[in-house]
Amino acid sequence: MSYRVEFGGGAQLQFHTLPEHARDALIERAAELAGEPWDAVVRPPGDDPRFREVVFGSGSGILGFYLDEDAQLIRIFDILWIG
């Protein structure tokens, strides 16, 4: 099963401010998540397993997303790049 990946409004803006190599790494990680969205940790501090986060770009970035299993959708809502 493959999930659809979408960027929320704020994440779209964040994506376009990333350096090219960071965008490439994020796209690669998002493609991996489309196949295995459970390969992530529940986003702190909550108990809601639909809110998750993963690292990308050799640990230089964090990607926050919402997992909607019913709609088979991953909605990226936050991108942090420290690289």
What per-residue confidence (pLDDT) applies to 75?
Answer: 97
**Distance (Å, rounded) from C-alpha 15 to C-alpha 65?**
13
Sheet of 41-42: strand order equals 4-7, 73-81, 61-68, 51-56, 41-42
Tens of pLDDT along 20-78? 999 999 999 999 999 998 888 887 777 789 999 999 999 999 999 999 999 999 999 99
What per-residue confidence (pLDDT) applies to 31?
Answer: 96
**CB 24 within 8 Å of CB 39:** no
pTM of the model: 0.90
What per-residue confidence (pLDDT) applies to 9?
Answer: 84
Residue with structure tokens 């690289």? 83
